[in-house]
Structure 1
Amino acid sequence: VTFTIGTKYSLRAKHCMAHDVVVVVIQYRLGALGYLTLDTEEIPGNAGMADQVEALRWIQKFIKYFGGNKDNVTVVGESAGAASVGFLLLCPQAREERLFHNAIAESGSMLTEWALDRNTTKHGYRIAELAGCPLEPYADLLHCLR
């Protein structure tokens, strides 16, 4: 996943709220902060997706205090958000924990070319290099990236 920009402002929350819907808008890490990977246990990547799963867990725990129903959660995304919806549909944690029940993906897909980076590890090392991190030994690389 390579999402680098995103905004909550395209969501038409006022329209949804006019129809007895509780709207929760989440934010998650993007770019290298969200998807940097060295394909290792320490830097596996997909922190941005982990943020989304944690947000859905928060919704499950607290939505009742806002008048919402934890058993009727719909994830909605447009463009990069639509790709995230697709990835959430495949996410084992989200499915096993039943963190959402419906999904709407608009104007985007996890299958579009811009949604996938086929060279994530290579790009991760390039980012480390650009940040001035030593690539070896590995412990020094990790320390620098942290």
Structure 2
Amino acid sequence: MAGGNIDHQQIVGNISRILGNKLYGKCRIFPIEMKVWIKKRNKFFYPDVTVICEKPNFYKSRRDTIDNPKMIIEVLSKSTASFDRAEKFLSYQTLELLNEYVLISQDKALVEQYIKREDGNWIYKATIGLESTLDFSSVKATLSLQDIYDLVEFEEEIL
């Protein structure tokens, strides 16, 4: 999401840096400005973080638009959360090489993953709490939620 707030940008920066270091030489990490083409829906999106682990497949030879991500990460905001969970996820599921779709809350330490099984069905997994670790099965990397949320200040919930 272009124009995200400071916490949104911090999370995107943290996860891009950490994944980039862990996957150095194996995968490419693109924060925010790489378009993903959805051929079956005839549209494209700008994911917050796109991970490609093979040679990029460019849409119509455009070097700013790919259609072969292995993992897509979206940082949720109040204005985009329902769209990211529904329309975007339905569109992303049509990408043949996509194996993992990750939704990161910016309001609390919560990361949700949709992981594609070999039979093509998707399973859901939630990781909660700053003390937790997150396994990205599609790229064989583990990150702590503490690192993902480094320098993010959560607002206190009023009961």
TM-score (norm. length: structure 2): 0.29
> TM-score normalized by structure 1?
0.31
Structure number with higher helix proportion: 1
Larger Rg: 1
Q: Which is strand-richer, 1 or 2?
A: 2
